[in-house]
């Protein structure tokens, strides 16, 4: 699932990735981990739902000491309806285009663009824009980005064959062969997100929040926006009608996509039901303080970068599993569950990386295609 501004910056690499995946077929559902919806939880009581067209800055303009009036928000939303309808129409204009993604079967792709009217219909991702729209323009730091994530989850959940849900950005790249990623993702024992308490929770971001009996300050958690959720946990997120409404009302600049889902888990005391790993991506935060990681540019991209992105020993360990992954997908045992045939290796190892500039995509493709005698990329 891609949450983008307009386009995916490393489209050449993704095209090669999906082309590499084209010979393979999905594993039989009978051996995959259960996709049952989590039903044992007593849901927090629902809070009155704000309209879905809430946009960045609206609540801060309308908030008064007594809270946010649903009627006032509804009136403010009226002027956005034409814009939202235009965005929905724009997302459909490329549906007839063919994409290299169509040639593979092991991944389903969904894309939410903040500016669907500007998406190039020649893009391999163009036809995968979802019709459900969230007003994510200029939505960074606020709840709007989470609205885009939820729109992607809701759309992807409609296909019952989808077992694992991976959140990616327009600047994400895959670090491994598609079959190895497929096996790793299907074999993860828990969601790849952190709902565990740690020393960098950014408590100041919830200043101004009005908490409830069910969602308190000590439930505040921080993870990264680029999560991996199994189907039952994706449904758990979509079913929430309590914590989401608190974030909608009070998250003006709280960077909600780093806090909402992790805090939702914590509000149900499900901290240990996550892997307590904050990110599925390698990101370089060491260059300068700020709210964005370093963007890799052409002069930084060479053969020595790939092991860094894979975190050296982590990458070496994962690569040793590639032959096994290829054997299993070619001839899976129908008598054993997948978790007995393939055990996820080192979940703390990043499977993706970001961020990369638009003008670096050919160099990135060259780096992952440098394997000696390799007929396809991602083999080293």
| 44 lies in some domain | no
Q: What is the pLDDT of residue 252?
A: 77
| 43 lies in some domain | no
| 14 lies in some domain | yes
Domain span including residue 200:
2-35+49-368
Pairing of strands 173-174, 352-353: antiparallel
User: What gap in Å lies between CA 64 and CA 61, rounded to an integer?
Assistant: 9
| Nearest partner of 99 among 124, 117, 75, judged by Cα | 124
Number of structural domains the chain divides into = 1
**Got the DSSP string for 302-336?**
STTHHHHHTTTHHHHHHHTTHHHHHHHHHS--SSS
- CA-based max dimension of the chain: 68
Q: What is the pLDDT of residue 140?
A: 61
Residues 209 and 355 sit within 8 Å (Cβ to Cβ): no
Q: What is the pLDDT of residue 49?
A: 83
| 291 lies in some domain | yes
Pairing of strands 228-230, 281-282: unpaired
| 377 lies in some domain | no
| 68 lies in some domain | yes
User: What gap in Å lies between CA 70 and CA 49, rounded to an integer?
Assistant: 8
| 373 lies in some domain | no
Q: How many helices (DSSP H) and strands (DSSP E) are in the chain?
A: 14, 8
Q: Which residues contact 15 (CB under 8 A, 6 or more apart)?
A: 100, 124
Q: What is the pLDDT of residue 199?
A: 78
The encoded tokens of residue 323 equal 């032959």
Q: What is the pLDDT of residue 374?
A: 59
Q: What is the pLDDT of residue 179?
A: 96
**94 DSSP 8-state letter:** T
Spans in the chain with pLDDT lower than 70: 35-40, 51-93, 96-97, 135-141, 288-290, 371-377, 379-380
Residues 250 and 209 sit within 8 Å (Cβ to Cβ): yes
| 375 lies in some domain | no
Give 60: exposed, middle or buried? Use CB within 10 Å, 0-12, 13-18, 19+.
middle
């Amino acid at each position: 699932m891609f949450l983008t501004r307009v386009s995916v910056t490393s489209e050449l690499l993704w095209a090669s990735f999906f082309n590499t995946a084209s010979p393979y077929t999905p594993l039989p559902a009978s051996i995959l981990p259960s996709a049952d919806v989590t039903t044992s939880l007593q849901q927090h009581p629902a809070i009155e739902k704000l309209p879905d067209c809430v946009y960045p800055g609206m609540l801060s303009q309308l908030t008064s000491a007594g809270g946010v009036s649903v009627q006032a928000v509804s009136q403010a939303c009226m002027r956005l309806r034409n814009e939202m309808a235009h965005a929905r129409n724009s997302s459909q204009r490329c549906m007839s285009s063919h994409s290299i993604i169509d040639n593979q079967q092991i991944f389903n792709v969904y894309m939410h663009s903040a500016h669907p009217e500007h998406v190039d219909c020649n893009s391999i991702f163009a036809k995968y824009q979802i019709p459900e729209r969230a007003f994510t323009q200029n939505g960074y730091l606020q709840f709007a980005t989470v609205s885009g994530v939820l729109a992607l989850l809701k759309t992807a959940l409609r296909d019952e064959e989808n077992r694992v849900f991976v959140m990616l950005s327009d600047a994400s790249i895959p670090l491994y062969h598609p079959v190895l990623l497929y096996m790793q993702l299907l074999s993860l024992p828990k969601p790849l997100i952190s709902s565990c308490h740690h020393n960098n929770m950014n408590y100041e971001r919830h200043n101004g929040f009005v908490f409830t009996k069910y969602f308190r300050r000590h439930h505040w958690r921080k993870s990264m926006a680029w999560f991996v959720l199994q189907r039952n946990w994706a449904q758990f997120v979509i079913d929430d009608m309590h914590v989401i409404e608190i974030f909608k009302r009070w998250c003006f600049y709280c960077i909600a996509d780093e806090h909402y889902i992790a805090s939702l888990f914590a509000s149900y005391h499900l901290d240990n039901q996550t892997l307590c790993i904050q990110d599925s991506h390698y990101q370089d935060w060491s260059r300068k303080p700020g709210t964005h990681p370093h963007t890799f540019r052409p002069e930084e991209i060479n053969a020595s970068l790939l092991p860094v992105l894979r975190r050296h020993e982590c990458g070496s360990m994962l690569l040793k599993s590639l032959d096994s992954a290829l054997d299993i997908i070619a001839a899976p045992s129908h008598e054993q569950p997948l978790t007995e045939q393939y055990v996820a290796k080192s979940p703390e190892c990043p499977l993706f990386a970001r961020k990369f500039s638009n003008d670096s995509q050919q160099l990135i493709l060259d780096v992952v295609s440098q394997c000696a005698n390799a007929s396809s990329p991602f083999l080293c």
